[in-house]
Chain A
Amino acid sequence: MTLARDNLTMPAAPVSRWQFDAKALIAAPGLVFMALAFAVPVLMLVGDSFVDSEGLSLAGYRKVLGDPYYIGIIGNSLQLACITTAVCLAIGYPAAWALARIRGVWQVILFALIFLPLTVSIVVKTFGLTIMMRRDGIINFLLVNLGFIERPMRLVFTEFSLYFGMVNVFLPFMILPLYSVMRMLDPRLLDASASLGAGPLHTFLRVTLPLTMPGVIAGGTLVFSISVAAYVTPGLLVGDRFMTMSQVMAKAYLNIRDFQLGASMAVIMLVISAALILASSYLVRAPGGEKR
Chain B
Amino acid sequence: MAYKTRLSRRTFAAGSLVAVTGFPNIVRGQTREIFVGGPASPGLTDILFPVIERKHNMKILFEGTNSLINLEKIRANKARPTMTVTMMDDPVLVLAEREKVIRKLPADITNLADIPAAAKPRDAMWVNWCQPMCSFSYNTRALPQGLASYNDAWDRKFRERIIMISMRITQAVAPLVAAAAYATKKPLDQALKEWGAGIERLKELRPNVIQVSSNAPQAQQLLETGECDLYMAPDSRTTLFRKAQGAPVDQGMPKEGVLAMPAGVALVEGGPNQDLGVAFINEMLNPETQALIARTFWSKPTNAKTVLPQGVSFPELVALDWEFFADNRNAMIERFEREVSSR
Contacts and interface: CB of A to CB of B under 8 A. Distances in A.
Interface of A: 69, 72, 127, 130, 134-136, 154, 156-157, 235-236, 238-243, 251, 253-258
A243 B225 contact: no
Given A239-B211, A255-B68, 16 more contacts: A69-B342, A72-B342, A130-B218, A130-B222, A134-B225, A136-B225, A154-B227, A235-B214, A236-B215, A236-B218, A238-B211, A239-B341, A240-B342, A254-B69, A256-B330, A257-B330
B213 A135 contact: no
B6 interface: no
Given A69-B342, A130-B218, A236-B218, A157 B210 contact: yes
Contacts of B330: 255-258
B341 A240 contact: yes
Contacts of A135: 226-227
Contact of A136 (B218, B226, B333, B337): B226
Contacts of A257: 330
B237 to A, nearest CB: 21
B9 interface: no
A241 B218 contact: no
B153 interface: no
**6 pairs of A and B residues whose beta carbons are closest in the complex:** A240-B341, A157-B211, A240-B212, A239-B211, A239-B213, A256-B330
Contacts of A243: 337, 341-342
A213 B330 CA distance: 47
Contacts of A130: 218, 221-222
A90 B310 CA distance: 63
Contact of A240 (B68, B69, B214, B218): B214
B215 A134 contact: no
Contacts of B214: 235, 239-240
A135 B228 CA distance: 10
B204 to A, nearest CB: 17
A241 B72 contact: no
B55 interface: no
Nearest to B75: A257
B333 A255 contact: yes
Contact of B211 (A240, A251, A255): A240
Interface residues of B, number: 26
B166 interface: yes
A242 B68 contact: no
Given A135-B227, A240-B341, A255 B160 contact: no
A251 B215 CA distance: 13
Contacts of A235: 214-215
Nearest to A253: B72
A135 B227 CA distance: 7
Nearest to B219: A239
Nearest to A158: B210
A69 B338 CA distance: 7
B152 interface: no
Contacts of B166: 239-240
Contacts of A253: 72
Interface string B142-183: 000000000000000000100000101000000000000000
Q: Which of B211, B221, B341 has the most CB of A within 10 A?
A: B211
Contacts of B160: 154
A181 B341 CA distance: 44
Nearest to A248: B337
Contacts of A240: 166, 211-214, 337, 341-342
B54 interface: no
Interface in B218-259: 218, 221-222, 225-227
Contact of B212 (A127, A134, A241): A241
Contacts of B333: 251, 255-256
26 contacts: A134-B225, A134-B227, A135-B226, A135-B227, A136-B225, A156-B211, A156-B227, A157-B210, A157-B211, A239-B213, A239-B214, A240-B211, A240-B214, A240-B337, A240-B341, A241-B342, A241-B343, A242-B343, A243-B337, A243-B341, A251-B333, A253-B72, A254-B72, A255-B330, A256-B330, A256-B333
Contacts of B227: 134-135, 154, 156
Nearest to A232: B215
Contacts of A242: 343
Contacts of A127: 218
Contacts of A136: 225-226
A157 B211 CA distance: 6
B316 interface: no
A134 B222 contact: yes
A136 B168 CA distance: 30
B334 interface: yes
B68 A254 contact: yes
Given A134-B222, A254-B69, A239 B342 contact: no
A98 to B, nearest CB: 36
A254 B68 CA distance: 6
Nearest to A133: B227
